[in-house]
Amino acid sequence: MPTILVTGGAGFIGSNFIRYWRREHPSWEIIAYDKLTYAGNKSNLHDLEGQPNFTFVQGDICNREELEPWLAKSDIVVNFAAETHVDRSLLSSGDFVRTDVLGVHTIMECAREHRTGLIVHISTDEVYGPILDGSADEDEPLNPSSPYAASKAGGDLLALAYAKSFRVPVIITRCCNNFGPYQHPEKLIPLMITNALLDLPLPVYGDGRQVREWIFVEDHCRALDFLIEHGTPGGVYNIGTGCERQNIEVVQMILQLLGKPESLIRFVADRPAHDRRYSVNWEKLRKLGWQPKHDFESALAQTVAWYRENEWWWRQIRESEEFKRYYEANYAWRLRNESA
């Protein structure tokens, strides 16, 4: 039975990918390998627990002894494991360098030794930095702004170097902003949905005119499946949709979907080095034959409905001491209208 190892499988995109893979490739064995940091949540995989040919392993991608046996027995590895939140990387960045750079190095070293099958390394469009005009293609120089983006750029370039130097069969993907079920309430869309449901203020950074390109998480999963079949090892692939929205537009749409007033919006102190716009050129992927299926408006409505119906899921996170500490550190002074 072929085996796929999904590192970071208890996070937002990883858990959606596992659910997608189970549905589309039911004959595969799936191993979810995750450290269960504050962002990893076993309840993201609640419906897979106890299913045949599904194994959950609590482990760190930086720990070679822990990781190696699982990687050695897998036919495909998809690496989602990372520290992922820009605002947290501005508060403290050690774990970002550790996991997003050294963790990738550990995976690459294991892959080099064991001559594994395909490795898909999930990078991000944030490695290109702000794109004020046009769209970044895969040859655009990397110009990260935050410690998160810089750490991801380090992992991305290391993976590429292992493909060039040691022929490790790795594909690197750089996707735009994802949204959908099981996204941690620290990120823009779930934070705004859950704050609105709780009748709390919605903190919009700066003037709210920053632009992000959005993809529904299921389309991202489909793109990864497509690249597993059609991508070339050693290749870098942008994954995008062309669906660009200003943050303020997204926040207004969420309020409208929930029937909540715009008076909940608060413009607060901006993020330092806040990237004005991200936009990827994904012609390379389109030419291979992939395109997104979901449009932003209906996928956002579906996402809002999911958060409304799954309060049990987000309440356990929002009520944790860890989340309260983070919220206090990142938002309390902003909502008091103070500067950093």
152 binds ligand TYD (CB under 6 A): no
Interacting residue with ligand TYD among 212, 220, 222, 318 (CB under 6 A): 212
241 binds ligand NAD (CB under 6 A): no
| Contact between 282 and 223 (Cβ < 8 Å) | no
Interacting residue with ligand TYD among 86, 120, 122, 221 (CB under 6 A): 86
Q: H-helix or E-strand containing 119?
A: strand 119-124
Only segment of 23-31, 201-209, 298-306, 315-323 that touches ligand TYD (CB under 6 A): 201-209
| Contact between 12 and 178 (Cβ < 8 Å) | yes
d(C-alpha 99, C-alpha 91), whole Å: 16
Only segment of 68-76, 99-107, 202-210, 222-230 that touches ligand TYD (CB under 6 A): 202-210
Of residues 74 through 113, those in contact with ligand NAD by CB under 6 A are 80-84, 99, 103
The binder of 86, among ligand TYD, ligand NAD, none, by C-beta within 5 to 8 A per type, is ligand TYD
Interacting residue with ligand TYD among 188, 196, 265, 300 (CB under 6 A): 188
Of residues 25 through 54, those in contact with ligand NAD by CB under 6 A are 34-37, 39-40
d(C-alpha 302, C-alpha 306), whole Å: 6
Nearest approach, Cβ of 312 to ligand TYD (angstroms)? 22
Cα→Cα distances 283→138, 162, 242, 245, 333, Å: 10, 25, 11, 20, 43
Question: What amino acid is encoded at 174 in this protein?
Answer: R
Nearest approach, Cβ of 125 to ligand TYD (angstroms)? 9
Q: Residue 212 — φ and ψ, nearest 5°?
A: -125, 150
Choose between 191 and 193: whose C-beta lies nearer to ligand TYD: 191
The binder of 253, among ligand TYD, ligand NAD, none, by C-beta within 5 to 8 A per type, is none
DSSP 142: P
> Residue count at the site for ligand TYD (CB under 6 A)?
12
| Contact between 89 and 83 (Cβ < 8 Å) | yes
d(C-alpha 84, C-alpha 93), whole Å: 11
Question: Which pair of structure tokens corresponds to residue 62?
Answer: 């930086």
Of residues 147 through 166, those in contact with ligand NAD by CB under 6 A are 152
d(C-alpha 187, C-alpha 184), whole Å: 6
d(C-alpha 159, C-alpha 172), whole Å: 8
Question: What amino acid is encoded at 91 in this protein?
Answer: L
Which of the residues are catalytic? Answer: 125-126, 148
191 binds ligand TYD (CB under 6 A): yes
Of residues 97 through 126, those in contact with ligand TYD by CB under 6 A are 126
Q: Which residues bind ligand NAD (CB under 6 A)?
A: 7-8, 10-14, 34-37, 39-40, 60-62, 80-84, 99, 103, 122, 124, 152, 175, 177-178, 184
